[in-house]
Structure 1
Amino acid sequence: MTTEVRVPTLGESVTEATVATWFKQPGDAVAADEMLCELETDKVTVEVPAPAAGTMGEIVAKEGDTVGVDALLATIEAGEGAAPKKEEKSEAKAEAPAASGGSDTSGDSIDVMVPTLGESVSEATVSTWFKKVGDSVAADEMLCELETDKVSVEVPAPAAGTLTEIIADEGATVQAGGKLAVMASGDGAAAAAPAKSEDAPAAPAASGGSGKDVENAPSAQKAMAEKGLSPDQVQGSGRDGRVMKEDVAKAAAAAASAPAASSAPAQAPRAPVSADDASREERVKMTRLRQTIAKRLKDSQNTAAMLTTYNEVDMTEVMALRNEYKDEFLKKHGVKLGFMSFFTKACCHALKEVPEVNAEIDGTDIVYKNFVHMGIATGTPTGLVVPVIRDADSMGFAAIEKAIGEKGARARDGKLSMAEMQGGTFTISNGGVYGSLMSSPILNPPQSGILGMHKIQQRPMVVNGEIVARPMMYLALSYDHRIVDGKGAVTFLVRVKEALEDPRRLLMDL
């Protein structure tokens, strides 16, 4: 029986990849889920596991070939070639508890692995361990928390037992499917932990040697060969100093800029700091989420022709309607009636008239979306995230309020999945909850528009020739001037203003 190895889904908007490295050759025995090759896209590196055990057959896509999603990479022939490896592995596992515990009554060894991190995410950073070596843990009890550039992932205990070894310490970078720790189950679990803790002091001495026997990432080795760099010239950021592909890119960039730096006056990256000031500073490494936020926002400024137009809206009618129906709304729907549902409905209404604000650029094409997946920017303790409410244009006020409440709670608890933050077509950002009177929001690429809400403030306004106090809010629409003209942007903002100042227009589709 022949099993086909095909290119997996590469992530949103990614359609092709390059075969970087083959870890197996024709005739090699492979186990199920063993890594066969590594693919590189313009965003991430993707490892391709074996879909079944067997013997490596034909390699269809060679190293350096460009392949599309679901393209055939290789074949695996069913056979007994992989069986001996698996048996040897199981024998080694069976011997391991006896060796560490010194007795055949030790519990079984259980590996704690990195879970699936989400589409297009191949690595994470260990942010916090909730347990230490020797601690007893219950099944599904949280052991540690991983941080990717998009979400935080909690790792539960696969079974009850004792934590005997932590392989990936806090701050270490781990790959999807990698090993995080080892547990012991059964009666021998408690005995295994002290033996491991006695051996622990020897670990620093082993790591303190000058020799480096850590295997670098295959993609990094290939990149070093292409750029003519040796491993000694690259500072690894991976676990135990493992050199990653991005480390090679940094080293190459530094080498290229060195001649220019020597001929030009040196410019310090930060101003000199006195010893007294330095002692009062605190240096904290940016989280992966914060690094991604910084990169995406700067990329947005560098890519889009971003412009912001402003208007103001009289919130009198919306506030009156909300006060009149909020109790009845809560009683019937079980959720409070807020302002966000009004703004969401008003934006969906305006996007139908000005569809280019709901579009995106793909190369030399403009992709118009005949639906609205509304992103709601949400501040969390770890940074800004944008959960997406899908098909918001077909939802009522109650459904929108429930979705916003649920997504917001999940965002603050770090429970959002990657899928819940992808695919948005337009975004609303409410800086008013923090007291902002006016700001210019930055686009959330590849979207072409984002609406900024602000603080509601009583201001004197001229109404029918008289000066009266009105609850006013400044609105800001940032848009990509490459596909949205000034007329379209202003029209969109005026339609939002009109819908909010007279909510009946939403019912009449005016």
Structure 2
Amino acid sequence: MSTEVRVPTLGESVTEATVATWFKKPGDAVSADEMLCELETDKVTVEVPAPAAGTLGDIVANEGDTVGVDALLATIEEGEGAKPAPKSEKAEAPKEEAPVESAGGETVDIMVPALGESVSEATVSTWFKKVGDSVAADEMLCELETDKVSVEVPAPSAGTITEILADEGETVSAGGKLGVLSSSGAAPAKSASKDAPAAESEAPAKAGDKDVEDAPSAKKMMAEAGLKPEDVKGSGRDGRVMKEDVQAAISASKSASAPSSTPAPASVPRAPVAADDEAREERVKMTRLRQTIARRLKDAQNTAAMLTTYNEVDMTAVMDLRNEYKDLFQKKHGIKLGFMSFFVKACCHALKEVPEVNAEIDGTDIIYKNYVHMGVAVGTPNGLVVPVVRDADQMSFHRIEGTINDMGKRARDGKLSMAEMQGGSFTISNGGVYGSLMSSPILNPPQSGILGMHKIQERPMVVDGEIKIRPMMYLALSYDHRIVDGKGAVTFLVRVKEALEDPRRLLMDL
């Protein structure tokens, strides 16, 4: 009997991948969850683990082949097979057995939990416990940081920590091992001391080299591009060269060879800094979340034909309606009536008339969405995140307010799940809470529109031939001009303005 190895889910809007590297060959013995091959998409690199232990049978998709989601990659035959374990397994065997021998009792591995769709690795942010500490079941052991959320790792059972395999700052893969827990209640000192000399003895041998091997996909790309390892500066842990580093090196070499009077900003070294100034500076590594924010925002500028159109809205009607019903609203629903529910409702109303603002481009296709999953940008101490209010067009005012309030609170506490930040079709960003009077928001790919709200400020306006003081707000709609024409963008913003200046239009669907 054989077990099929298939292409896993590759992430939102990703339907195919390229087989980059096979780590095993037919006839090799494999253990459950051991990495078999690596797939590359246009967004991420995905490792495919073995679904069961056995012997690798036929490889259906070879390196370089393009495969779709759930396509057959290979088969695994039952049994360990007649062939001896591959070299990689022999080399890793002592590592796996060492904690068990040193523990002197039943041990439990502390593993990296599922990190979410399209997220394959994380950085160990903080260990709350150290070797020798006793822990209770489900007690928090450490915190991992991905490029989207923070993930807490609970103790799988009660016991004592006997070994920590991934220190703070190290990068770990989904399903990797973080440490070992002994349920015997005693922390053997043998475990830590046994590994220490080994680490020390290895250090001199590797002093002139990297601690870890470069990523397989990076090696392959370097070979194809004719680059040497010393030509690429690694950004991974301990200088490990990643696929992105090779891409950057290739781009840099192209830029250098192209005739240009102005060097690329990325190639310009930092200007010399006086010793006095350098002593007063602080260099801090960017968090994975901040790196992802930077990359995605720049990708949005490079990919979309982004344009922004502006308008202003008189907030008098909304403010009067809110003041009239806010006490009754809070008494009945137990939550305050804010402005966000009005803006969400107004945007849902406008998106029905201008559906291309709620669409996205997929290759040469346009995907029109018959639903509104509203992203609401929230500022947190670690950076900007965008939780998604699903089916916002079908929600009442109090459900919208309650959902946004709950998600905003959990976003600031770092408690949002990956699923709650994916699948948005349109986004609202409220810079007004920080005092912004006007700005141009950047698209949240692959979305085609984002509405920027701003500060409400009283200004003199002409109303019915008279100058009156009105609470005014500037609105900004950034949109992807590839699928949204100027007429559609302006129409959308005008419909939002009309709905806010006369909220009765929302009730009458006008």
Normalising by structure 2, report the TM-score.
Answer: 0.90
Are the equivalent residues in 2 in contact too, given 1:33–1:49 (CA < 8 A)? yes
Are the equivalent residues in 2 in contact too, given 1:14–1:41 (CA < 8 A)? yes
Are the equivalent residues in 2 in contact too, given 1:112–1:182 (CA < 8 A)? yes
1:165 offset after TM fit, Å? 2.4
Does 1:386 find its partner at 2:386? yes
Does 1:128 find its partner at 2:130? no
Match for residue 40 of structure 1?
A: 40
In 2, the alpha carbon distance for the partners of 1:94 and 1:208 equals 24
Q: Output the amino acid matched with 1:207.
A: A
Does 1:207 find its partner at 2:203? yes
In 2, the alpha carbon distance for the partners of 1:140 and 1:112 equals 11
Moved more, 278-287 or 121-130: 121-130
In 1, the alpha carbon distance for the partners of 2:461 and 2:10 equals 54
In the TM superposition, 1:322-471 aligns within 5 A as 322-471=322-471
In the TM superposition, 1:86-101 aligns within 5 A as 96=98, 100=102
Are the equivalent residues in 2 in contact too, given 1:138–1:160 (CA < 8 A)? yes
Match for residue 307 of structure 1?
A: 307
Does 1:196 find its partner at 2:195? no
1:46 offset after TM fit, Å? 1.1
Match for residue 16 of structure 2?
A: 16
Are the equivalent residues in 2 in contact too, given 1:477–1:493 (CA < 8 A)? yes
1:442 offset after TM fit, Å? 1.1
Match for residue 169 of structure 2?
A: 171
Are the equivalent residues in 1 in contact too, given 2:451–2:477 (CA < 8 A)? yes
**Which whole-Å deviations, capped at 9, do the CAs of 1:161-187 have from their partners, x for residues lacking one?**
222322222221111111222222213
1:142 offset after TM fit, Å? 1.6
Match for residue 271 of structure 1?
A: 271
Match for residue 116 of structure 2?
A: 118
In 1, the alpha carbon distance for the partners of 2:43 and 2:412 equals 27
After superposition, the Cα gap between the structure-2 partners of 1:98 and 1:145, relative to the gap in structure 1 and judged at 3 Å, is closer
Aligned to 1:281, the other structure's residue is in SS state coil
Are the equivalent residues in 1 in contact too, given 2:99–2:191 (CA < 8 A)? no
In 2, the alpha carbon distance for the partners of 1:203 and 1:468 equals 76
In 1, the alpha carbon distance for the partners of 2:77 and 2:99 equals 34
Aligned to 1:507, the other structure's residue is in SS state helix
Aligned to 1:439, the other structure's residue is in SS state coil
Q: CA RMSD in A?
A: 2.9
What runs of 5+ residues in structure 1 fail to find an aligned partner? none
Match for residue 320 of structure 2?
A: 320
Are the equivalent residues in 2 in contact too, given 1:93–1:109 (CA < 8 A)? no
Aligned to 2:180, the other structure's residue is in SS state strand
Does 1:295 find its partner at 2:283? no
In 1, the alpha carbon distance for the partners of 2:365 and 2:220 equals 34
Match for residue 182 of structure 2?
A: 184
After superposition, the Cα gap between the structure-2 partners of 1:316 and 1:208, relative to the gap in structure 1 and judged at 3 Å, is farther
Q: Output the amino acid matched with 2:164.
A: I
In 1, the alpha carbon distance for the partners of 2:348 and 2:78 equals 54
**Which whole-Å deviations, capped at 9, do the CAs of 1:331-386 have from their partners, x for residues lacking one?**
22122111100000011111111112112222232222121111101101100011
In 2, the alpha carbon distance for the partners of 1:205 and 1:98 equals 22
Q: Output the amino acid matched with 2:485.
A: D
Q: Output the amino acid matched with 2:115.
A: L
Q: Output the amino acid matched with 1:32.
A: A
1:253 offset after TM fit, Å? 4.5
**Which whole-Å deviations, capped at 9, do the CAs of 1:14-59 have from their partners, x for residues lacking one?**
1111112222222222222222211111111111112222222211
1:424 offset after TM fit, Å? 1.1
In 1, the alpha carbon distance for the partners of 2:96 and 2:362 equals 54
After superposition, the Cα gap between the structure-2 partners of 1:276 and 1:262, relative to the gap in structure 1 and judged at 3 Å, is farther
Moved more, 279-288 or 296-305: 296-305
Aligned to 1:224, the other structure's residue is in SS state helix
After superposition, the Cα gap between the structure-2 partners of 1:501 and 1:52, relative to the gap in structure 1 and judged at 3 Å, is same
Are the equivalent residues in 2 in contact too, given 1:54–1:82 (CA < 8 A)? no
1:248 offset after TM fit, Å? 3.1
Are the equivalent residues in 2 in contact too, given 1:168–1:239 (CA < 8 A)? no
Q: How many residues align?
A: 503
After superposition, the Cα gap between the structure-2 partners of 1:302 and 1:339, relative to the gap in structure 1 and judged at 3 Å, is same
In 2, the alpha carbon distance for the partners of 1:198 and 1:75 equals 39
In 2, the alpha carbon distance for the partners of 1:487 and 1:457 equals 28
**Which whole-Å deviations, capped at 9, do the CAs of 1:400-421 have from their partners, x for residues lacking one?**
1111111111211112222211
In 1, the alpha carbon distance for the partners of 2:240 and 2:263 equals 34
In 2, the alpha carbon distance for the partners of 1:263 and 1:386 equals 40
Moved more, 201-210 or 318-327: 201-210
Match for residue 152 of structure 1?
A: 150
Q: Output the amino acid matched with 1:288.
A: R
Are the equivalent residues in 2 in contact too, given 1:134–1:197 (CA < 8 A)? no
Moved more, 430-439 or 329-338: 329-338
After superposition, the Cα gap between the structure-2 partners of 1:296 and 1:80, relative to the gap in structure 1 and judged at 3 Å, is closer
Moved more, 283-292 or 208-217: 208-217
